[in-house]
Amino acid sequence: MVRMRVLELQFYPLVLGLRSIEIYGEGIKPALERGKGFDGSSVLLAPVEKSDLLLRPDKHTLYQYPWDPEVAGVICDIYTFGGEEYELSPRYILKKTLREAEERGYRMLGSVEIEFFVLSREREFLDRAGYFTPHPSDRGFQLRREVAKALEEIGISVDYGHHEVAFSQHELTLRVDEALEMADKTVKARFVLKNIAEKMGLFVDLMPKPFIGINGSGQHIHLSLSDVKTGRNLFAGDGTSLSKLALNFIGGIIHHMKALSAIVAPTVNSYKRLVPHHEAPTSLSWDYINRTTAIRVPGATSKRSVRVEFRVPDNTSNPYLTFAAILASGLHGIDEGMDPGEPLNDNAWRIDEKLDSLPSTLGEALDELERDSYLKRKLGERAVSKYVELKRREWRDYLKSNEWDVNVVTDWEVEKYSGYI
Ligand code: GLU
Ligand code: MG
């Protein structure tokens, strides 16, 4: 690595999205070795009278910024000064949940599809292209390519990219990896995407529903469990069908899905995306090759590629909490042998009123999470209570100046979420 002159310590608090502090010159080595204290109260992680927390870099995540070789970033864990991992740290919550899976012999693998709008700095569309439209009508291809190359340089493989259905909307899909790696990679990919767009004079909007009347942007997650010892895909049954374990995992996600929504679709704007006829889910449903259900089982060509796709998450989700909550739900399904019911085999939007619905606002989703004693226990009572308290504040803040109208994106949302990473 070229001599690093600036190191950015990056971390995810419970809410707020990515946070970062930079260290210069001689401070870098001690920060990498011993960590750096910070004010936990200002990122809503600790009370002001007990606010000092410690950021400890996970050196394995160190990455040089492709656009500036003198600057590197590193993802940090959050510790107390007593030397313990902080129970409200999302990355800790994920590691804890992964350990539980590992004790049962399971390793979770995931890949994420990042959908986003590429806009002018004034937030106008760059093109009127659609699904798979090639360049030059597709005006975002150069950005996608720059981002994919930059991510490759820092060890993040992008499987594919393309223009999405809506005007100026795009997708990049990251190559499958273990869940903690994938959560870190999601953070880095969002960050690199935003920054390279900025360098190119563009604006990338990761908001779930920036424009009414056209598709929003999801962050679908593809998941499977493999055997810790042999690496065998435990979601694969006979041939390329789903195993019983995979069906139970789906059963667990469906069982917890209403509460899960508060974590995987965690903003006011998320619920404007989850409406019919825009390729987003609206119900507690699953099916094969169906883009109207919350869980889709994509067609697989080999045992290794047998997986399930969860379509509720969006890019405002905290990647650590998201993987942790999905895994905890799936494990519950496996432990209790939960039956997901029959695959829907129909268009979920057409028969919407017959199906159990996803929450229709952030407020409703938070009520569900508060009621879900299993998820609270698994993710940590204190962490979930704090999360719900902070997210309720966000919901109330929105309602102070706006009515709930699923068909309007307010200035409040654009201000709050369009810069979100
Ligand atoms: N953009 C859609 C969503 O909001 C998904 C489109 C797709 O299936 O890729 O989830
Ligand atoms: Mg897509």
Per residue in 122-143, pLDDT (tens digit) is: 999 999 999 999 999 999 999 9
Atom 6 in ligand 1: residue holding the nearest Cα: 279
Domain that holds residue 278: 95-417
Query: In terms of domains, do 73 and 101 share one?
Result: no
Q: Which of 32, 51, 86 is the last residue of a domain?
A: 86
Give the pLDDT confidence score for residue 239 in this predicted structure.
Answer: 87
**Whole-structure pTM value:** 0.97
Atom 7 in ligand 1: residue holding the nearest Cα: 279
Average of pLDDT values for 14-38? 95
Give the pLDDT confidence score for residue 4 in this predicted structure.
Answer: 87
Query: In terms of domains, do 154 and 19 share one?
Result: no
What does the pLDDT look like over 163-184, one tens digit per residue?
999 999 999 999 999 999 999 9
Residue 1 lies in a domain: no
Average of pLDDT values for 306-328? 98
Residue 349 lies in a domain: yes
Query: In terms of domains, do 69 and 134 share one?
Result: no
Residue 104 buriedness (CB in 10 A; 0-12 / 13-18 / 19+): exposed
Q: Is 216 near ligand 1, meaning CB less than 6 Å away?
A: yes
Q: Is 218 near ligand 1, meaning CB less than 6 Å away?
A: yes
Average of pLDDT values for 38-44? 93
Residue 141 lies in a domain: yes
Q: Which of 43, 61, 86 is the last residue of a domain?
A: 86
Contact between residue 123 and residue 205 where contact means Cβ atoms under 8 Å apart:
yes
Mean pLDDT of all residues belonging to the chain: 96
CA–centroid distance, 172 to ligand 2, in Å, is 8
Q: Which of 35, 55, 86 is the last residue of a domain?
A: 86
Give the pLDDT confidence score for residue 129 in this predicted structure.
Answer: 96
CATH number at residue 172: 3.30.590.10
Quote the radius of gyration of the chain (alpha carbons, Å).
21
Query: In terms of domains, do 231 and 108 share one?
Result: yes
What does the pLDDT look like over 186-235, one tens digit per residue?
999 999 999 999 999 999 999 999 999 999 999 999 999 999 999 999 99
Atom 5 in ligand 1: residue holding the nearest Cα: 279
Query: In terms of domains, do 269 and 331 share one?
Result: yes
Give the pLDDT confidence score for residue 293 in this predicted structure.
Answer: 97
What does the pLDDT look like over 60-112, one tens digit per residue?
999 999 999 999 999 999 999 999 999 999 999 999 999 999 999 999 999 99
Query: In terms of domains, do 58 and 115 share one?
Result: no
Give the pLDDT confidence score for residue 233 in this predicted structure.
Answer: 97
Query: In terms of domains, do 219 and 367 share one?
Result: yes
The H-or-E segment that residue 153 falls in is helix 141-153
Query: In terms of domains, do 376 and 228 share one?
Result: yes
